[in-house]
């Protein structure tokens, strides 16, 4: 099986009527994702139409979930309102919230993180590409695509992928698919300094998933999440893991791409993360082009 979402997972989209949300809702429907509702305040009662499908739009998440049975939300809400959208989804009791929005103020996310403490709702992101569980159809269509990842690069199989970088997620997936190797689930956890789900959370899920036989873990400079995951793998990991750390040449104090990718106070360096990987027995890809090859060599 896959982690987090299945092909039959019912999904609602917050921000479905915006241009970005609408476009990716269409792509997810084309992939086979069961999108059952949209949420845009003030547009309740309208319908989102695509390829003969009609998706009802609601004013609030709770109403959408009650009427459609949706258990997962994809958030495409602008940054000033995204934190409230996350909390609304959690208040509605959804199992999973995938927040794609980039540029949410850190202070807003600190408040969200505290508000989610002790709740059953899991947050992926923000500033992430989302989650893909490949299906069985041609180009693995018929799976569940939540977010902005290109569906056609995926193939159903047994490798789990977790990454802070969207682009490197796609690169790892494409390398695997080109070698005829499929994926169980691919998770982009986002590169912001305050996010909902960590490398370690996903690694533990992959470790417990009988259908995941190997893992690619992609990290970046900044923070200590990769080191924490590596320490856990060293003690508890039962599956081969290959890793790559982006930002080895970034100067200290300079932000690299993501808001959380910054070396500060001598912590979060690429060298420290790579050494943690080495001590944990994680296969280290020297360049992005070697991620899949490194894992497959280990397997």
The terminus-to-terminus CA distance of the chain in angstroms comes to 20
> How many whole angstroms separate alpha carbon 211 and alpha carbon 226?
23
Exposed (0-12), middle (13-18) or buried (19+): which is 71, by Cβ within 10 Å?
A: middle
Q: Are 216 and 299 in contact (CB under 8 A)?
A: no
- The number of C-alpha atoms within 13 Å of 115 and in the hemisphere containing its C-beta is 16
Backbone angles phi, psi at 259, to 5 degrees: -65, -25
| Edge-to-edge strands, sheet with 214-220 | 144-147, 130-133, 183-188, 156-163, 214-220, 241-246, 283-284
Q: Which of 147, 144, 146, 169 is nearest to 159 (CA)?
A: 169
- The predicted pLDDT at position 261 comes to 54
- The predicted pLDDT at position 22 comes to 98
Residues 6 or more apart in contact with residue 198 via CB below 8 angstroms: 189, 225, 228, 229
> How many whole angstroms separate alpha carbon 222 and alpha carbon 268?
4
In this structure, which topology does domain 155-298 adopt according to CATH?
A: Rossmann fold (3.40.50)
Exposed (0-12), middle (13-18) or buried (19+): which is 142, by Cβ within 10 Å?
A: middle
- The predicted pLDDT at position 41 comes to 97
Give the SS3 label for residue 12: strand
CA distances from 49 to 54, 59, 143, 196 (A): 5, 17, 20, 31
Backbone angles phi, psi at 266, to 5 degrees: 80, 5
> How many whole angstroms separate alpha carbon 169 and alpha carbon 228?
20
Token digits for 77? 């809400």
- The predicted pLDDT at position 115 comes to 97
- The predicted pLDDT at position 221 comes to 85
Which residue matches tokens 């930002």?
A: 247
> Radius of gyration over alpha carbons of the chain, in Å?
19
Identical fold, 10-124 and 155-298: yes
Domain ranges within the chain, ordered by starting residue: 10-124, 155-298
CATH number of this structure's domain 10-124:
3.40.50.720
Token digits for 59? 């004013």
- The predicted pLDDT at position 138 comes to 64
- The predicted pLDDT at position 248 comes to 78
Per-residue model confidence as pLDDT tens for the chain (299 residues): 689 999 999 999 999 999 999 999 999 999 999 999 999 999 999 999 999 999 999 999 999 999 999 999 999 999 999 999 999 999 999 999 999 999 999 999 999 999 999 999 999 999 999 999 998 876 677 899 999 999 999 999 999 999 999 999 999 999 999 999 999 999 999 989 899 999 999 999 999 999 999 999 999 888 889 999 999 999 999 999 999 999 877 776 666 666 555 555 555 788 889 999 999 999 999 999 999 999 999 99
By annotation, the residues acting in catalysis are 258
């Amino acid at each position: 099986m896959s982690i987090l979402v299945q092909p039959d997972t019912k999904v609602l989209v917050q921000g479905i009527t915006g241009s970005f949300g609408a476009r990716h809702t269409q792509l997810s429907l084309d992939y086979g994702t069961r999108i059952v509702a949209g949420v845009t305040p003030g547009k309740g009662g309208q319908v989102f139409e695509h390829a003969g499908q009609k998706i009802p739009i609601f004013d609030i998440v709770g109403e959408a979930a009650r009427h459609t049975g949706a258990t997962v939300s994809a958030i495409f809400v602008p940054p000033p309102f995204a934190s409230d959208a996350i909390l609304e989804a959690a208040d509605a009791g959804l199992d999973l919230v995938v927040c794609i929005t980039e540029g949410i103020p850190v202070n807003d996310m600190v408040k969200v993180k505290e508000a989610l403490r002790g709740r059953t709702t899991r947050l992926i992101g923000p500033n992430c590409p989302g989650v893909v569980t490949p299906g069985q159809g041609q180009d693995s269509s018929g799976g569940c695509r939540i977010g902005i990842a290109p569906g056609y690069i995926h193939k159903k199989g047994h490798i789990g992928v977790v990454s802070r970088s969207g682009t490197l997620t796609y690169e790892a997936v494409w390398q695997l698919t080109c070698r005829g190797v499929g994926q169980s689930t691919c998770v982009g956890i986002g590169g912001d300094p305050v996010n909902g789900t960590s490398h370690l959370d996903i690694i533990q899920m992959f470790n417990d998933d009988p259908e995941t036989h190997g893992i690619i873990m992609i990290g970046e400079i900044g923070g200590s999440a990769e080191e924490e995951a590596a320490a856990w793998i060293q003690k508890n990991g039962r599956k081969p893991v290959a890793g790559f750390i982006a930002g080895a040449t970034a100067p200290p104090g300079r932000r690299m791409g993501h808001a959380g990718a910054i070396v500060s106070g001598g912590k979060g360096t690429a060298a420290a993360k790579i050494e943690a990987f080495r001590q944990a027995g994680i296969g280290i890809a020297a360049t992005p082009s070697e991620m899949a090859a490194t894992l497959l060599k280990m397997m």
